[in-house]
Copies of this chain bind each other. A is one copy, B any other.
Amino acid sequence: MVESVERDVYSAALLIIGNEILAGRTQDTNTPWIAERLTEHGIILGEVRVIPDVEQEIMSTVNDLRTKFDYVFSTGGIGPTHDDITADSIAKAFELELVRDEKAFKMLEEHYGLEELTPPRAKMSMIPEGATLIPNPVSAAPGFIIENVHVMAGVPRIMQAMLDHVLREIKAGKPILSNTVACTLPESTLAPDLTDLQEKYPDVQLGSYPHYRGGVSGLSLVLRGIHRGSLEAATEELIEIIKGHGDEPRALSIRSTG
């Protein structure tokens, strides 16, 4: 990758580290938030993995994802307790030492005061050697970056602040624009037209999502792409197709504002 060449889009994977999601007790709300923010920055989220707090799993998954995607973002497991093993596991994945980062220690000291900086809290200054810190404006304990891997907290408020910081720093692509057209036609009625439309506009990703809400079935058609011209042309054709089947597109949310 030649750093000076600007690219239209970058790819990313999200790694969610946490038994609580796998146990079903916590609903992951970070994924849609992260996906939206990446989209605005021209970064396509290509895969999400949720794995348990198990060293070997974290190591092998990070090493797999960081070679496949431009960016990896992880959430979870950087707190003070016994089940917070992300920093240690990622250090091992990169074959780096886990060392006390003096800048991180200072952040924690300023937040808690030296007397309240207990050993479990001080543990949160242990960072893989050479990593860059991601500030945590909420509770001080920082995340960190090694190469293309961005290690963030799992608590949504902290993660969001960390991601905002990261997105100001990293290379962005062109915003991914999207239009959504809703109708009440059955998916199968539109299927042949959608196939043709997708073929006609290969640079627009066209998705068809049926849903049932309050006993009423509906269909959302989502068009995504980085080229405003083809996105809008495809959207207009789709609206005409729906009208041609005797339905009126009932909601039309356009997010192509990037």
Contact = CB atoms under 8 A, between A and B. Distances in A.
A195 B22 CA distance: 21
Contact of A120 (B81, B180, B192): B192
Interface stretch (A25-33, A128-136, A165-173, A243-251): A25-33
A99 interface: no
B27 A21 contact: no
User: DSSP majority for the A interface?
Assistant: mixed
A17 to B, nearest CB: 11
Interface residues of A, number: 65
Contacts of A79: 187, 208, 210
A57 B222 CA distance: 21
A224 B82 contact: no
A35 interface: yes
Interface string A32-68: 1111101100001111111111000100000000000
A188 B118 contact: yes
Contact of A81 (B49, B82, B191, B212): B191
A82 B29 CA distance: 29
A85 B35 CA distance: 23
Interface string A78-91: 01111100000000
A230 interface: no
Given A81-B187, A82-B195, A155-B211, A39 B21 contact: no
A35 B31 contact: no
B50 A23 contact: no
Interface of A: 16, 19-29, 31-36, 38-39, 44-53, 57, 79-83, 118-121, 123, 138, 155, 157, 178, 180, 187-192, 194-195, 198, 205-212, 222, 224
Which 9 residue pairs spanning A and B have beta carbons closest together? A24-B35, A120-B191, A48-B50, A24-B36, A120-B188, A82-B195, A80-B188, A81-B208, A24-B32
24 contacts: A19-B207, A20-B209, A20-B222, A22-B44, A22-B48, A23-B207, A23-B224, A24-B32, A24-B33, A25-B178, A26-B32, A26-B209, A28-B31, A47-B51, A80-B187, A81-B187, A81-B188, A81-B190, A81-B194, A82-B206, A118-B188, A120-B188, A121-B188, A155-B212
